[in-house]
Structures are given as C-alpha cells and as structure tokens.
Amino acid sequence: MEFLRIQDKIISWQKIESRLKKALQMRTRGFSQQEVADRLDIDRTFISRLERIGEVRKGQSIACVGFPISNKEEIEQILEKEGVDFILIFTEQERLDYVEQRSGKELLNELMELISKVRAYEIVICIGSDERLKLIENMMDNQVISIEIGSSPITEDKWVDPTEIRKILRSVKAAR
C-alpha cells in the first residue's frame, strides 16, 4: 500500500484510487452525479470535476509521434485509416538521418516548430522510450496517451502492437 504524508495526515493512495474508480464505474452504469455523490459520500461538484479532468471532448484533433518503430508502415496505415490528423513516425535509421542531416541550429528550429505544431492537437499519442515519454508529457498541455516500447536509450527498432493502436484510437473516437 502506498501512503502519502500531507502535513499531519496520512493518505492512502489505494483508497483514493479505488473510490475514484468506483465513482466513474457508477457513472458509466447510468447513476447521476448526485446519486454517486450520495452513495460514496463525495460532493457532487467533485464528481463533475473528476469527469472533466479525464474528458475527451467530441471532435478533438489527434496527433501521433513515435520512434523507433519497426512496423512503421503498418502503424501509419492504421493511423491514417482511423483519421489521425498529424503523424510523425520514424524508424531508428530515419531518426538518425533526420538528426545527422541538420546543423544544430536547423535541428533546434525544426524541433521547436514540431513541438509547437504538436501542442496544437488536443490528443497526442506518443510511442517511445520511458524517458522520451516523460519529456513529451511534461512539454504538452494537451491530453497525452503514452505507449512505452522500452527503456532509454532505445537504439533499435521496436515492434508496436497494431491491436493496441486500434484499441486506443477507437476508444478515443468513441468518446468524441
């Protein structure tokens, strides 16, 4: 069990997680916010805010950035078929070529432009190493869906499960 100390209180993370999960499950089963609040002894406004935290709004734009991916073409086809708005996927060799073909100044400018472009999308699916995913999550204000394919540094292409990509895209699109 994980506990957090907040001043003179000891907080159980599992208890919080369990209560949040139960509240959301009750909402998906058709309970009103007030019914959930009453049954779980939580303020109704908290239920509303909880839903807003994780909400994926209708019509949101989606971007996908990932590397190094061995089945790049297959993943790109799925992303295109599912209507992803911006796709930037590299194999390891393409990633190395991209970096080596630019001066430091060009690389910095292009990366800043790419970051700015990706931040404009409401949902960003990121495929990469644990450390790269943390960096991307910290740079984005939008919703980030992370798919970890290994520990940093990754120096060879990794296979990405097409079923997982489809499942994520369909769940995001269903929530639209």
User: How far is residue 19's CA from residue 13's CA, in Å, rounded to a whole number?
Assistant: 10
CATH of domain 3-54: 1.10.10
pLDDT digits (tens, 9 = 90+) for 51-60: 878 765 456 7
pLDDT digits (tens, 9 = 90+) for 19-76: 999 999 998 888 899 999 999 999 989 988 888 787 654 567 899 999 999 999 999 9
Select from 174, 65, 79 the least CA-distant residue to 129.
65
Task: Give the architecture-level CATH label for domain 62-174.
Answer: 3-Layer(aba) Sandwich (3.40)
CA end-to-end span of the chain? 35
User: How far is residue 81's CA from residue 173's CA, in Å, rounded to a whole number?
Assistant: 12
- Structural domain boundaries of the chain? 3-54, 62-174
List, in sequence order, every residue forming a beta bridge with 3; answer none if it has no partner.
Answer: 12
Consecutive H or E run containing 15 = helix 13-28
Select from 160, 116, 112 the least CA-distant residue to 142.
116
